[in-house]
């Protein structure tokens, strides 16, 4: 699909799009680009929608600000509102996976006048934690949660950029359904998401000889070229604003996501192994009173739009037609 550059009032964005009709805006996660939505763009374009996916701030050929504090949720939601304006659209259905789901939830929370519905994949809507997130993330003398490992600028960049193709192979496979089942409260010596203080993130992740069928060599190469251009710093800066996001979100205390919503998650999603995650998912209706459906997809992992593209596309199209 051809890409184009759009100058918005917040940032210069690289976008891919297909079709005409009501706008559906797609937000990818880490480590991905707009290419993560290739199947959905084609399907929704054929179904009578205008499907648009940007490389998010800091990724691919979208602008990558240098300052860490320019990657807060308020900046990311602002980018989505600015993109709607640049596209000449009043409203959109917003769809996101991984970090993109977090952006989608908060776009719908902050600007229900612009985002008429939300489809969130993998990451549920969560209330701000009572203390800064970095104070409660798990860590031991030997390992720490990946979000803590990402906090210090420069450390993760060096590891992830040493061999970009290997980095992408390992992370994308390890979080997929093909890596096997997850168990809540995983007590294995190296549960997914915990990073060795000595060896780093990638050492304990398998490097598959062959990638699953849902990720072709061409797809992997496109991702690799995008990260060779942008590096990983932009995506890592999202994690470096977790505490800052909590502070800024004080202004949103008590606000709900009050638009129609759909939540989807793979049965083997790595997030489901985090202690307490199922309780968070079960509590979502209190934060999202118009949560119409929750879908658990058997055998699938964290990259649902790519692992189960037809199922995800059909679910989005059906949801979009009924809100």
Q: Is 85 a catalytic residue?
A: no
Domain coordinates in residue numbering, the chain: 3-322
Output the pLDDT for position 276.
87
pTM: 0.96
C-alpha dist (Å) from residue 320 to 38, 220, 260: 18, 30, 10
Share of the chain above pLDDT 90, in %: 92
Residue 8 has pLDDT above 60, yes or no: yes
Q: Which CATH superfamily is domain 3-322 in?
A: Alpha/Beta hydrolase fold, catalytic domain (3.40.50.1820)
Rounded Cα gap, residues 236 and 6, in angstroms: 23
Residue 191 has pLDDT above 80, yes or no: no
Q: How confident is the model at residue 274 (pLDDT cuts 50, 70, 90)?
A: confident
Residue 188 has pLDDT above 50, yes or no: no
**Residue-by-residue DSSP string for 262-314:** EEEEETT-GGGGSTTHHHHHHTHHHH-TTEEEEEEETT--S-HHHHSHHHHHH
Residue 120 has pLDDT above 70, yes or no: yes
Residue 187 has pLDDT above 90, yes or no: no
Q: Is 98 a catalytic residue?
A: yes
Residue 69 has pLDDT above 90, yes or no: yes
Rounded Cα gap, residues 267 and 272, in angstroms: 8
Contacts of 37 (CB under 8 A, 6+ apart): 16, 26, 28, 51, 53, 95, 305
Output the pLDDT for position 29.
98
User: Considering 28, 61, 75, 302, which one is annotated as catalytic?
Assistant: 302
Q: Provide the 10 A C-beta neighbour count for residue 151.
A: 16
Residue 286 has pLDDT above 50, yes or no: yes
User: Considering 98, 106, 178, 269, which one is annotated as catalytic?
Assistant: 98
- Average pLDDT of the chain? 95
Tokens of 3: 């890409």
Q: How confident is the model at residue 216 (pLDDT cuts 50, 70, 90)?
A: very high
Work out whether the CA dihedral 246, 251, 253, 254 comes out positive or negative.
negative
Output the pLDDT for position 192.
66
Output the pLDDT for position 184.
53
- What burial class does residue 106 get, using C-beta atoms within 10 Å of its C-beta: 0-12 exposed, 13-18 middle, 19+ buried? buried
Output the pLDDT for position 275.
81
Residue 4 has pLDDT above 60, yes or no: yes
In the chain, what are the helix, strand and coil shares in percent, each to the nearest 5?
Answer: 40, 15, 40
Residue 49 has pLDDT above 50, yes or no: yes
Q: Give the mean model confidence (pLDDT) for residues 119-145.
A: 95
Output the pLDDT for position 247.
96
Share of the chain above pLDDT 70, in %: 97
Tokens of 239: 């994690």
Of 264 and 193, which is predicted with more confidence? 264
Contacts of 202 (CB under 8 A, 6+ apart): 159, 160, 166, 167, 170, 171
Side-chain-side CA neighbours of 262 within 13 Å: the count stands at 23
Output the pLDDT for position 189.
41
Task: Tell me which residue of 14, 217, 222 sits closest to 5, measured CA to CA.
Answer: 14
């Amino acid at each position: 699909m051809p890409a184009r550059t759009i100058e918005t009032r917040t940032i210069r964005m690289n976008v891919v799009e297909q079709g005409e009709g009501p706008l559906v805006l797609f937000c990818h996660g880490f480590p991905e680009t707009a290419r993560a939505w290739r199947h959905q763009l084609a399907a929704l374009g054929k179904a009578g929608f205008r499907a648009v996916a940007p490389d998010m701030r800091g990724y691919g050929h979208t602008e990558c600000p240098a300052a860490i504090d320019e990657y807060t949720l308020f900046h990311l939601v602002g980018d989505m509102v600015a993109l709607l304006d640049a596209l000449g659209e009043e409203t959109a259905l917003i769809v996101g996976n991984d970090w993109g789901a977090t952006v989608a939830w908060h776009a719908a929370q902050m600007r229900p006048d612009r985002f008429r519905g939300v489809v969130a994949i993998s990451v549920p809507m969560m209330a701000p934690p009572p203390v800064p997130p970095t104070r409660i993330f798990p860590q031991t003398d030997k390992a720490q949660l990946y979000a803590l490992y990402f906090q210090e600028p420069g450390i993760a960049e060096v590891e992830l950029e040493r061999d970009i193709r290997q980095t992408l192979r390992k992370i994308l496979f390890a979080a997929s359904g093909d890596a096997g089942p997850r168990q809540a409260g995983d007590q294995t010596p190296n549960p997914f998401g915990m990073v060795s203080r000595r060896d780093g993130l990638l050492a304990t992740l398998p490097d598959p000889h062959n990638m699953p069928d849902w990720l072709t060599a061409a797809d992997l190469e496109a991702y690799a070229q995008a990260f060779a251009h942008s590096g990983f710093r932009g995506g890592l800066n999202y994690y470096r604003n977790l505490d800052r996001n909590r502070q800024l979100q004080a202004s949103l205390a008590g606000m709900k996501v009050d638009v129609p919503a759909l939540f989807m998650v793979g049965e083997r999603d790595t997030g489901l192994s985090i202690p307490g995650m199922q309780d968070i998912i079960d509590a979502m209706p209190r934060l999202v009173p118009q949560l119409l459906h929750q879908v658990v997809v058997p055998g699938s992992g964290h990259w649902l739009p790519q692992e189960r593209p037809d199922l995800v596309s059909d679910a989005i199209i059906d949801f979009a037609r009924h809100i």
